[in-house]
Amino acid sequence: MSTAETLHRLQLLDTAIDVIRRRVFEIDQHAKGTPALAHTREEAARAEAELTAAQVALDSIETEERTIDAKIEAEDKRLYAGTIRDPKELVEVQTEVQELRRRRVGMDDVQMAALERVEDARNDVVRCRASLQQGEVNFVSDVAAGRAERKQLIAKLTGQAEQRTALVSGLPKTALDLYQSIRTKKQNGVAVAEIRNGACAGCGESVSSSAAQQAHTGNGTALCSNCGRLLYSE
């Protein structure tokens, strides 16, 4: 097997290894939690907080209503009991009772709005809890499936690592070093490009006949004049 062919096979193997490693990384990241699940949890927490706030507001209104009712009842007793002798005080008490009654009537609408807010918040909590429960179930299932897939991928990766060791052992050090150097500079990690229709498959640049011949025979290493990748031709 020529050096060029060995490098081409090494590239195919490294690309396959890269794909597996990326997938393993994705599985590991997914096991830590997903943005969708985090959002569902945030929505559930927001709904719970809204329900608490709505209930607190309703309790406050109801407390104020009871306070006003108690005040009206107490002042009415004073008025009907005839214990107030001072005409000025009598007028003041009557005025105060009238004002309390107006406030009390106005609070009925406020209480109704607060009750509706509590009911809406309670329904939202039920919905969010159901979504979160389903999301948690799906997440656990996905993580379990991911673990099973990861186990298979690691086994495959181990086999590919052994194949890589065998390929590398048959390469001259200078060729391997050049391959590794180019590979680290390329974003996709592709250091070897095939010649297709007279052009480098890596960048599309036309390949000279001498470079194409060298890539075909495998004698030495042919490089693309444009992207610098190692060239290979069957």
Q: What is the pLDDT of residue 8?
A: 94
Q: What span, in angstroms and rounded, lies between the C-alpha atoms of 177 and 151?
A: 32
Domains of the chain as residue ranges with CATH: 3-7+9-169 (1.10.287.1490), 173-232 (no CATH)
**What burial class does residue 231 get, using C-beta atoms within 10 Å of its C-beta: 0-12 exposed, 13-18 middle, 19+ buried?**
buried
Phi, psi values for residue 200, rounded to 5°: -70, 125
Strands 230-232 and 192-196: parallel
Q: Are 195 and 224 in contact (CB under 8 A)?
A: no
Residue 64's closest CA among 98, 17, 103? 103
Alpha helices in the chain (DSSP H): 3-31, 35-81, 87-169, 173-185, 209-217
pTM: 0.72
Query: Is the Cα torsion angle 65, 66, 70, 71 positive or negative in sign?
Result: negative
Q: What span, in angstroms and rounded, lies between the C-alpha atoms of 106 and 101?
A: 9
Residue 21's closest CA among 192, 174, 181, 164? 164
Q: What is the pLDDT of residue 217?
A: 83
Q: What is the pLDDT of residue 219?
A: 67
Q: What is the mean pLDDT of each run of 10 residues along the chain (234 residues)?
A: 90 96 96 95 97 96 92 85 80 86 88 96 97 97 97 97 95 94 94 95 94 82 93 91
